[in-house]
Structures are given as structure tokens and as C-alpha cells.
Structure 1
Amino acid sequence: MQDTFAETIPPVGLEQHHPVKPGGDDAGHGHSEPSLASHNDGPPPVKRGRLLIYGLGGLTAAILLAVYGVVDRGKSEDTLVELTAQEAIPTVDVIKPQVGVTGQEVVLPGTINAFFQAPIYARVSGYLKMWYYDIGAHVKAGEKLASIETPDLDQELAQAKANLGVAVANYKLAQLTAARWQKLLKSDAVAVQDVDVKTGDSAAKQAAVTAAQANVDRLQALEAFKRIVSPFDGVITARKTDVGALINAGSGVGPELFAVADIHEMRVYVRVPQSESADITNGMQAFLSLPQYPGKKFPATVATTANAIDPVSNTLLVQLTANNPDGILTPGTFAQVHFELPARPDVVRIPTSALLFRQDGLKVAVLGSDGKVEIKPIRAGRDLGTQMEVLAGLTPTDRLINSPPDSLLAGETVHVTGEMAGKASAGNTEVSAR
């Protein structure tokens, strides 16, 4: 049974390559046995010549790839060197210095003072009897501000008047005696020496009267200072005394009794930097701005200057005057003083970004007539914030390099960008060769 099933189903894969032929030599055995070749599962053998051809082809391809890589790498290195050299050349923007520009407004801090301002002290000692005006009051010249009780001065004056009376009486007696002795001399009743003594005594008594009268006048003059009066028209800005306070005579001894300021016109003091001092002239117009009055302008005029530069601050003290009919401006006020400085046709302006700060001074970089970079020293003028005036070292025709690199050197090659790129001497973006 098993033998019959084996003969019916041939082995897989053998009947395709070696089919059983009926009537063959092995037909009588009931089944066929495959040959030895039918049991070889590997690929069919390859000829040796074909393998040699494949090897030579692969070697040739490898050699070609290696040669192409070497050539391409050489070209890449040359391109990299060229690009590196080009990128090493700085790119700059070339501009022209400004000339003939309008004036510049300069704003400086200032202090407003009264046109006249006086602290008032007492000339006599005593006690304050009464004050009549307080701070903020407007007073006229000679108007009584306060009165002082002076008992000591009153006693001195009374004594001086009494001394004057004694001196006058003594003088009258001496004068009468001298006249009598003069009459006796005519009759030779007295000696000439005695007459001279009486005459001299009369003259001395007369001098004593004069001295006593002068002392009375002095004390009476001091009596007038019992009344504290305003020296001029103005407003009382300070009162530092009160009724019953002890008053000491003399200026500077203790606080002042009153302070009076004339504010019909104000003086404004401002310190102008030395760089702008040459533009400040007498009669120059300006205006003031105050923080408590935003947007409001107060006209002022330059009255005078100190004509000397302060060696400590390097500034010029300038005095301006400003009318104050409404009394809006008050003494001691901080103000911003706005000057409109005139334009300078003989100087040029450049942006501060074009400056080079070197150890040997301030410099700028320009493109010379030969197209090469030049480093020029300059003498700076007014600092206008984003711009600066150049007084010397630069002309309006110079081609100025804006925002130059700090490492820029004279004679260096640069690329030019901006409006002046087409005006370069070489006619393209690269200018000169180092």
C-alpha cells in the first residue's frame, strides 16, 4: 500500500528536470531513481572569463570616481579661497558731509532770578514792635514793613541831647569870657597870654558843641532805622521775624528780617559750553520753557556774558533778561533756555557713526582721489547728538565712509554700497587694490 502511494507521487522538483520515460531501461523496476546531478541545489557554474570582465569594470569605475573626486575637491578649494578673499574685503557705505545746513537749537538748564533782590537787616538793636506785610505782598519803595522798639537807643539819644546842651552852655560862657578879656587887653589891664588862653578855651568849647551835635545827629539817624522800609518796588519773598523777637543790629548777624525782590523783569543765568560760546552774542534772542507751564514759551534776550570761560566747568556764564509783567516768572525757578544757534557755512556736519576713536585722537575714514582708504584726523566742533560739526580736517567734497569698521586701515580695499557706489573711481563695487 505504501509502495503504491510512493510510485504514484513523484518527488517534488525531480519530475520537472528529469521526467520518467515510459519503456525505459528501468521500467521493469516499478520506479525510477534520480541521478546524482539532480541532488545539486547550488547555482549553475559561472565561467572564469566573465568574472574577469566584471572585476576590470568595477576597478575602472572606482578609478574614475577617485579622479573625479580629486578634481572636484581642487575646484572647491579654489572657489573657497576666492570667496574667502572676497568676504575679507569690508563693505562700506560712502556719504558726503553736509554743508550749508540750518541752525541748531541748543537747550541748556538755567536759573531765574529777580532783577533786584535784597535781604533786609536791622541797623539798630531792639525788639520787633510790629510787622505790616507778609510774604507775597507787593510793596512800594520806602513803604514801612515793620517797626522796632529801641529803648537803649532812645536813652542814648536823650543823653546826647543833654550833652549837647551842656556843650552849648560852656561854649557861650567861654565865648563871653574871651570877649571880656579882649576888652581888658586894650587897656593893658591883662596880659596877652591870658587873653590867648581865654580865646583858645572859647574855640575848644565851640568844637565840643560841634561834636555833641554830631553825636545827636548820629543817634537821630539811627532812630530812623527803627522803621524797616522797602528799598524798591517789589514783592516780599521772605519774612523771618515776628513780634517781640530780639533784633540784632548789623548785616549778616542772624537771619534777615525780610527779603524783597523786584520781579518786573527777571535775570536768567545759564552756563553755555565752550564749544557753543562763540555763537552767543549780546542781543541774541532765546526763549524759556518751564516744567510748570508745559508748551508755553517766555521770550528772553541775552544781556551780557562773563567774557571768561570757567576753567573748572569749561562753560561761559551768560545772563539773559525776560520781561515779567504778569509776575508768572518767580525767583529761583529752574528753566530750560532754548538758543537758536546760527548755521556755520565754513564747517561741515557728519553723522557721529562715521567717527573713528583712535588712541591718537578723533579720526574719519575717506576714499581718496586714488580710490584708496585714507584715515584723516579732524577737529570736532559742536556735538549735535546724532551729528557733529567738523571744524578742520574734512571738506565737503570728501567721500566719507559711514560706520567704518574699527579695524579699517589706510590703503585698504573696500566694497562700496549706497548711493555713491556708482561714483567709485573703478566704476564697480570694488575700489582700488591694496
Structure 2
Amino acid sequence: MSSDRSAPRRTLRRGGLVLVIIAAVIVAYGLTTRAKEGRELKEWTDEQAVPTVTLVSPTTDTSTGTLELPARLEAFARAPIYARASGYLKSWKVDIGTQVKTGQELGEIETPDLDQQLLQAKADVASAKVNAELAGTTAKRWQSMLNTDSVSRQEVDERMGDHAAKQAILQAAQANLDRIQATKGFTRLVAPFDGVVTARSTDIGALINVGSAAGLPLFVVSDIRKLRLYVSVPQNYASSIGKGTVAKVSIPGQPGKTYTATLVASSQSVDISSGTTLFQFLVPNPDGELLPGGFARVSLDLPANTPSLSIPASALIVRQDGLHVAIVGANNQVSLKEVVIARDLGKTIQLSSGINADDKLVDSPPDDISDGLIVRVADAETKSEAGRP
């Protein structure tokens, strides 16, 4: 009877033990799984904390570059014609666009006031001449009487002085007459050289008042058989343009057509407001196709200098302390190097110093990149994943 009762108890104890063992296994498995997931999460977090970068290598560039700049055209010689005599415009002989020769009359000024001054000056000269002749005759007569002791030395000296004064008055009157006659010669407006009339700002009857505030010239004569081409070149490229440089010139409104310009001079200075040097070229214009005052586009071939290293513009780091690039060295550790730009070609930057040809640069570096930062190289990671079974 007692053995029958003890059997269910043993079975119950065994069942409880099995449940305890199962619970322990479940708890151990849960703890093990959670620890594994924690390790994996930590490893993933650490991996995500290391930035992934793409590397680029510098390239050596020895080719010649082309520099395109805006320019302006000016006449080889330009002469604004102003009036030197007051009056009214009597007539004009040429209009804009007229070809003129040296000395050809452009217009004539009528000067009634100046004509009266000229008549008065001639009368003053005639009067001074008569007075000087009379004073000279008197001086000679008194000089002859001095030998007979009829007059004193003082009286003779006075007559000689009066003659000298009259001579001086005659010379002054003659000089005034010459001045007015020279001014009268300016009533004819003439072309100073062969060229074309590019402006006329007066008409018949217009009042011309010399001595007032400077106004528009009456005519403008320009020599356009060849033109001056002015180009402002940035300081970085000024030293690359030497004497005899030939430029290709294109004009808006004339697509596909180019002209040749030859360098003749430079300003030999840098404009502090723009940081450029002014260069002057000459452009032949025998057919008059190019117009003075127009704008042009200039293409300059820059000579090949010593080989330089080029990098993508995206690899450049611009900060307050200067320009840098991020170089990945041993153990994928980053070091920042300061660089100096030689030429900015848009998508490509030519450097004059700062890096070596075998350096590996970070392309599009993150903003917070710094010295000593450990990175993961995207190309190397891709290759390692591709080699796994």
C-alpha cells in the first residue's frame, strides 16, 4: 500500500526536475543569445563609427592649357576734335562713317567776335609801329645834338629809353596779333590723320563757346585699319604670357569666325581692385569688320611648364587656415596636408606643392575629417567582400 503511494511522488519529483532543467536550459540559451547579439551590435556600431571613403590618385599634367577671357576693342588711334575758337558752326563737310585723309576739312566755325579782335590787333600794331618809328627818329636827332652840347646827356637818355619802350609796345602788339591769327586758324576743323569719322555732335548754327565746361567733341576721327585689344589677365596667369603671344579672337554675332591678335605690350603692374594685369594686343582690320568699342572673347594658349600634379576639385578641403587635402597612409590613418593651387581648371585643380605623385587622397572628404582619423577604404572593402566564398 505504501509502495503504491511513493511511486507517484517519485514521478512528480522527476517531472519537476525535468522542468527545472528545461527552464535552466532556456535561460542559459537566452543569456547566450543576448550576449551574442550585444557583441554583434557593438561590432556593427564600431564599424559604422569608422567612415568609409573613396580614394583618388594625383595625375601628372604636362599639357598646355587654354585661357579664355573677355576683352574690349579700341581704335588704334582716336582723336576727339574740339574747338579752339568761340563762335557758331558755319558748316560741316563730313558725317559719321566718312573716310577722311590727313588735313581734310571737317567743318568751319564762324567767329564774328574774333574777327573784330583781329582788326583791333592789326590797328594796334600799326599804331605801335608809327610810335616806335617816331621815337627812333627823335632819339637819333637828340643823339646828334649831344655832340654840339645843345642838349644834356640826361635828355638824350630819356629819348633813347622812350624809343626802347615804344619798340617793346610794338613787339607786344605784334605778339597779340600773332596769337589772334593763330586762333583764327583753328576756325577750320581738320582731320589729324587718315581714318573714319566715328562721331559728330554738332550742327550748323550751333553755339561754340571755348573756355566753358568740357563737353562733347565736335567730331571724333578714328584709325580702325588695325585695332587695339585690351585683355585683363588674372595675376596667376600673367607670368605665362610672354612677348609675341598670339591670341585667337572671337566676336559676338560672328559665330565660327576667329581673328588673330599679337601681343605688343603689358601694363607691367597688377590692378589692386581686380587683381589682374592689362595686356594689349594688335588686331589687323583691313576690311573694317571689327568695330572699335566692341567686346570680344580671347583664347590664349598657355605654355607647358614643369609637370604639375592635378587632383579632382572634390578632393580639396577649404578651411579658414588654408587649403588642404586628406591623405590616407599606413593603417588607413588620415593626415591633412596644406597645398598651393597653381591653376584652377574647374573640375580639375593643378597644384604647385603639397603632395606627391604616390599619395592616396580622399575624394569628397567629410566635413569633420581630421588628422589621425581611421577610415575604411571603400575599394578595399569591396575587393575583400568579393573574395569571400
Query: Fold-level match, TM-score > 0.5?
Result: yes
Q: In the alignment, does 2:261 pair up with 1:300?
A: yes
**Could you tell me which residue of structure 2 aligns to residue 133 of structure 1?**
94
Aligned pairs (5 A) from 1:284-323: 284-323=245-284
Tell me which residue corresponds to 1:205: 166
Distance in structure 1 (CA, Å) of the matches to 2:33 and 2:248: 75
**Counterpart of 2:236 in structure 1: which amino acid?**
S
Tell me the distance in 2 between the aligned counterparts of 1:250 and 1:225: 15
TM-score, normalised relative to structure 1 = 0.78
- Residue 405 of structure 1 aligns to which amino acid in structure 2? P
Structure 1 counterpart of 2:202: 241
Contact 2:332 / 2:376 at 8 angstroms: preserved in 1? Answer: no
Choose between structure 1 and 2 for higher RCO, CA contacts under 8 A separated by at least 6 residues.
Answer: 2
Report the AA paired with residue 199 of structure 1: M
Are residues 62 and 291 of structure 1, via their aligned partners in 2, closer, same or farther at CA, if it must alter by over 3 Å? farther
Structure 1 distance, partners of 2:170, 2:177, is: 11
Q: CA RMSD in A?
A: 2.8
Q: How does 1:31-430 map to 2 (within 5 A)?
A: 67-250=28-211, 253-345=214-306, 347-368=308-329, 372-417=333-378
Contact 1:181 / 1:198 at 8 angstroms: preserved in 2? Answer: yes
Please tell me whether the aligned partners of residues 99 and 345 of structure 1 are also in contact (alpha carbons under 8 angstroms): no
Q: For residues 369 and 78 of structure 1, do their structure 2 counterparts lie closer, same or farther at Cα, with a shift above 3 Å needed?
A: closer
State the shift of 1:385 in Å: 0.9
Q: Distance in 2 between matches of 1:253 and 1:313?
A: 30
Larger radius of gyration: 1
CA apart distance, 1:306: 2.0
Residue 66 of structure 1 deviates from its aligned partner by 5.6
Identify unmatched segments of 5+ residues in structure 2. Answer: 1-7
Q: 1:215, 1:408 → 2: CA distance?
A: 85
Q: Please, which moves more after superposition, 98-107 or 120-129?
A: 98-107
SS of 1:148's equivalent in the other structure is strand
Q: Tell me if the contact between 1:123 and 1:251 (Cα under 8 Å) persists in the aligned partners.
A: no
> Residues 83 and 238 of structure 1: is their aligned pair in 2 closer, same or farther, counting only changes over 3 Å?
same
Query: Separation in 2 of the partners of 1:369 and 1:308?
Result: 47
CA distance in 1, matches of 2:195, 2:230: 20
* 1:54 Cα deviation after fit: 9.3
Per-residue deviation, 1:370:
6.6
CA distance in 1, matches of 2:129, 2:42: 121
Change (3 A) 1:225 1:78: same
Indicate conservation of the 8 Å contact 2:261/2:283, yes or no: yes
CA distance in 1, matches of 2:213, 2:58: 59
Q: Deviations over 1:123-142 (max 9, x none)?
A: 00000000111111121121
Q: Helix, strand or coil for the counterpart of 2:108? A: strand
Please give the secondary structure, in 1, of the residue aligned with 2:369.
coil
Q: Secondary structure in 2 aligned to 1:263?
A: strand
Structure 1 letter corresponding to 2:138? T
Note the alpha carbon deviations across 1:34-64, whole angstroms, 9 max, x for none: xxxxxxxxxxxxxx89x97999888877765
Kept in 2, the 8 Å contact 1:89–1:415? The answer is: yes
Partner deviation per Cα, 1:205-239 (whole Å, 9 max, x = no partner): 22222222211111111111110111222211111
Q: Deviations over 1:312-371 (max 9, x none)?
A: 222222222222222122121111222222233254221110011233221101123675
2:129 maps to a residue whose letter is: V
Structure 2 counterpart of 1:205, which letter? K
Mapped to 2, the partners of 1:55 and 1:297 lie a distance apart of 103
Q: Deviations over 1:273-307 (max 9, x none)?
A: 22222223332221222111122222122222222
With normalisation by structure 2, the TM-score equals 0.86
Q: Helix, strand or coil for the counterpart of 1:276?
A: helix
Query: Partner of 2:269: helix, strand, or coil?
Result: strand
Measure, in 2, the Cα distance between the counterparts of 1:428 and 1:337: 52
- Give me the whole-angstrom Cα distance separating, in 1, the residues matched to 2:232 and 2:219: 30
Q: Deviations over 1:135-167 (max 9, x none)?
A: 111211211100010011111111111111111
Give the share of equivalent positions with the same residue, in percent.
Answer: 46
Q: Give the Cα separation in 2 of the matches to 1:310 and 1:288.
A: 23
Any conservation in 1 of the 2:332–2:375 contact (CA below 8 Å)?
no
SS for the counterpart of 1:388 is: strand
Does the 8 Å contact 1:108/1:336 carry over to 2?
Answer: yes
Are the aligned partners of 2:61 and 2:310 in contact in 1 as well (CA < 8 Å)? no
Q: Secondary structure at the match of 2:160?
A: helix
